[in-house]
Amino acid sequence: MKYTALLSYQWLTGLSDTGTGLLLYVAPVFTLHLMGVHAPQDATPYVSYIGAFVLSVGLACLYGVRLVARHAPERLEMVWLLTTFSRSAVAIYVIKCILAGELEPAWITVALFDSTCAVIQAVGLRRRWLVDAR
């Protein structure tokens, strides 16, 4: 993967997850409204808790920006490995819940974003994109 593409990818994933996580954490009902999905009012504390998790994934990706900017993209492998596990788990769970009628179809955007990132990172790890990104 080329250096600029890797840096752009890290910024995109880092900012989107950090921003979404912060919003879910501090304003869960508003954030879900922006996403076009609904949750019961009594679920608000749990949605904020999920926001903390999303925020942590975003911050890990922003740490990846620092690694790439310092010309040490090979050190990003562990970040990609661990966030791929998290993103895969989220995508599988959301898809299962949509198919079971437990979540609205609009949640598919979450599953699509996370599964796309998981595939990109899994392929990148397998093909050693990070080692070759210098």
Rounded to an integer, the average pLDDT of 79-101 is 97
Secondary structure of 110-126 in HEC code, one letter for each residue: HHHHHHHHHHHHHHHHH
Give the pLDDT confidence score for residue 28 in this predicted structure: 94
pTM of the predicted protein model: 0.91
Q: What are the angstrom distances between the C-alpha of 51 and each of 6, 28, 31, 118?
A: 25, 8, 10, 19
Tokens of 107: 């949640």
| pLDDT at position 134 | 66
Chain-centre distance for alpha carbon 37: 18
